[in-house]
Structure 1
């Protein structure tokens, strides 16, 4: 009988008190359960750490802010066979672990992620959610067609990206110098070890940014960032562009 692959969930966090509790409570009822949940805090000034500790979750303290750095630190500390990177404002299905294990049981798959639905307390943003789904396919087809046909799909942070720990380490993990598009960069490295798969299941992400920007502005921002990245614009400039656009 093959050995069961254990899944470590890594959550980078910075001032996520408003949503972290809900996310962690959902993780506590996963069936089967995760091997471990690690919150990597980037210096929160709210109750993020207290909430995680009150729910019995291990907290790591990052000496530097930035999702790439924080996720790498969590991956280094994790002891599971599979790494799952989760945003603090994203709620996952209760069978998350079983779905991940099933996807990676295929040795030709190196990485996977989920379909994201962006929603608030009153409604789901179907247009923005649809664009997020489509860009998983059109972005690599437009900008890395040779890799698209090799199995490249570009996953983003709210898609709950997962991969084997050995593949993550072999690829060097997330590029700590990238302040944005770090997940897409990792996908390009991981496709050298197997196909990237978009799982036909949904996760629910908070619309807190969409609510602030509006759906049209949010979609325009994502389009511009994606195209600029595709044409090779420096990631530091993309980060400044993202912040200025907001």
Structure 2
């Protein structure tokens, strides 16, 4: 079974489209979905009518790492996939995950495109199809063998920003074999709509550099919130 863990904060509208699409494109693969709501999500997402293999749980503590660990702890599958609520997976999503983990790999990510077409956004997306400095971001949907995830100690709940990059850092340190599946996810461009293209990219680059230099996560969050408009902030 593949367990899809979706951390969400006031994402009802996105979940309305995402959850049915996962069922529609399951291709006979057994899977479950655990939507983990932040402690202060207030849009009634848990009241959506869904099938029996989709469940909702609300976190008591803040932090996306906490949300994803909570979902993983409840998961019944031998494979975990961490999918953002505003990301649309391809029709071959579950098949791609199964195929990628049949061989020598224990984990993987997806390439992606944005839901808004522009030359500059296409440049950004082109980097996600190959390994590089930005590999490991949450929008790329980490999927991983459950045993490997547990061995690495799960997500660091003290990492309040860039928890995905911190986990990927441990993956590389422990020489976990991973791949990048070139079957594009469709990622929301909403952060680029609330901020300029240049501001978002410079902020992302600065955060990656500061993270690699060892800046604590609370300082990273301060930098992030200071540089990006409040219309789009990192949600718990």
Residues 110 and 193 of structure 1 are in contact (CA less than 8 Å); yes or no, is this contact kept in structure 2?
no
Match of 2:127 among 107, 124, 134: 134
> Please, which of 141, 144, 155 is the counterpart of residue 136 of structure 2?
155
Superposed, 1:108-123 pairs within 5 Å as 109-119=105-115, 123=116
Partners of 2:4 and 2:119 in 1: CA distance: 27
Asked if 1:18 is matched to 2:52, the reply is no
Q: Which runs of 5+ in 2 are unaligned?
A: 229-236
Within 5 A, what are the aligned runs for 1:1-246?
6-30=1-25, 31-43=27-39, 44-51=41-48, 54-56=49-51, 57-107=54-104, 109-119=105-115, 123-131=116-124, 133-134=126-127, 137-139=131-133, 154-191=135-172, 192-246=174-228
Equivalence for 1:3: none
CA separation in 1, counterparts of 2:165 and 2:140?
11
Deviates more, 1:168-177 or 1:23-32: 23-32
Q: Deviations over 1:39-94 (max 9, x none)?
A: 0111311132223xx12320011111211000001001001010000000011012
Residues 146-205 of structure 1: per-residue CA shift (max 9 Å, x gap): xxxxxxxx3111111100000000100100000111111111222325222111110001
Show structure 1 runs of 5+ residues with no match: 1-5, 141-153
Q: Contact 1:20 / 1:88 at 8 angstroms: preserved in 2?
A: yes
Q: Which runs of 4+ in 1 moved over 4 A?
A: none
What TM-score does the superposition give when structure 1 sets the normalisation length?
Answer: 0.84
- Residues matched between the structures, number: 222
CA contact (8 A) 2:114 2:188 kept: yes
The whole-number CA distance in structure 2 between the counterparts of 1:125 and 1:209 is: 14
**Maintained 8 Å contact 2:3/2:81:** yes
Give me the CA root mean square deviation: 1.8
